[in-house]
Amino acid sequence: MKVSLFITCLSDAIYPRVGEAMARILSRYGVKLHFPEAQTCCGQPAFNSGYWDEARASAKTLLEAFDDSDFVVSPSGSCTGMIHHYYPALFKDDPVLLEKTRRLIDKTYEFTQFLVNVLGVKDVGATFPHKVTYHPSCHGTRLLGIKDEPRVLLSNVKGIEVIDLPFAEDCCGFGGTFAVKMSDISGAMVGEKVDHILETEAEVLVGMDMGCLMNISGRLHYEGKPVRVMHISELLYEGVK
């Protein structure tokens, strides 16, 4: 099967190690990730700001880039959620592109979804002897229904101590353009999130979306708190290296 990596903007430009970790984990199960170089932004920033024509142009590029892929895997619940829930609105008046959208939706998965639900992998054989707390990102949880998959993978890591994050369901305040337009509110929200993380006394914060993790990591750094922030693919790969 042809499995393609949808790297997303943040992972591609700022956190390429996340894509590398995904590729190395999946290669252990015979999956050689294909990387269509034509891929671009999912269009979410433009869509959320009301620029639907610009978002539609980005979306068309992705439809073409992944047209011949059997599966598309992404490290971001946010960008995957954009495809699943908002692409149909962009192409509701174009039957040809709407059908392409439906095909893309059917084969596009967030990383933990693909690993657990498609490949049937719940234990990668990792060892990670640290205290960890998990932040479930809004889009992955609410738009894609991702709840058990990351927790199942973490529960099978040897030596790990997973500590429940108080008010884990609360948003971190990033929200893409929201953090720019409503910076005061966003700052208060991430401040609360960091306070709850520190309550756990965890050494590591893990999540499945680099937008949220970038926001939280920035606040932790600003406050001088030595909590390591990792995408779940990085934690799993570090545990099996």
Average per-residue pLDDT in the chain? 96
pLDDT exceeds 90 at position 197: yes
Check whether residue 106 and residue 148 sit in a common domain.
Answer: no
Provide the percentage of residues in the chain whose pLDDT is more than 90: 95
Check whether residue 51 and residue 148 sit in a common domain.
Answer: no
Check whether residue 101 and residue 10 sit in a common domain.
Answer: yes
pLDDT value, residue 108: 98
Check whether residue 99 and residue 182 sit in a common domain.
Answer: no
Long-range CB contact pairs, 19-24, < 8 A, 24+: 19/75, 20/237, 21/231, 21/233, 21/234, 21/236, 21/237, 21/238, 22/73, 22/75, 22/111, 22/233, 24/237
Q: CB-side exposure of 219: number of CA atoms within 13 Å?
A: 24
pLDDT value, residue 177: 83
- Residues contacting residue 136 through CB under 8 Å, at least 6 positions apart: 146, 147, 150, 168, 169, 207, 208
Task: For residue 44, tell me if it sits in a domain.
Answer: yes
Check whether residue 141 and residue 110 sit in a common domain.
Answer: no
Check whether residue 87 and residue 168 sit in a common domain.
Answer: no
Residue type, 141: T
pLDDT exceeds 90 at position 125: yes
Which two three-digit tokens encode residue 181?
């337009």
Task: For residue 126, tell me if it sits in a domain.
Answer: no
The last residue of one of the domains, among 86, 118, 150, is 118
pLDDT value, residue 148: 95
* 140-196 pLDDT tens trace: 998 899 999 999 999 999 999 999 999 999 999 998 888 888 899 999 999 999 999
pLDDT value, residue 208: 95
Q: Coil, helix or strand for 110?
A: strand
Check whether residue 7 and residue 95 sit in a common domain.
Answer: yes
> Quick one: residue 225, left, alpha or beta (phi over 0 = left, psi -120 to 50 = alpha)?
beta
Check whether residue 103 and residue 142 sit in a common domain.
Answer: no
Domain count, the chain: 2
The last residue of one of the domains, among 118, 148, 164, is 118
pLDDT exceeds 90 at position 45: yes
Check whether residue 201 and residue 233 sit in a common domain.
Answer: yes
CATH of the domain at 222: 3.40.50
Predicted structure pTM score: 0.94
Task: For residue 178, tell me if it sits in a domain.
Answer: yes
| Domain residue limits at 197 | 131-240
pLDDT value, residue 175: 86
Check whether residue 103 and residue 149 sit in a common domain.
Answer: no
Check whether residue 154 and residue 49 sit in a common domain.
Answer: no
* 80-114 pLDDT tens trace: 999 999 999 999 999 999 999 999 999 999 999 99
What's the rounded Cα separation, in Å, for the pair 220 and 75?
22
Check whether residue 69 and residue 171 sit in a common domain.
Answer: no
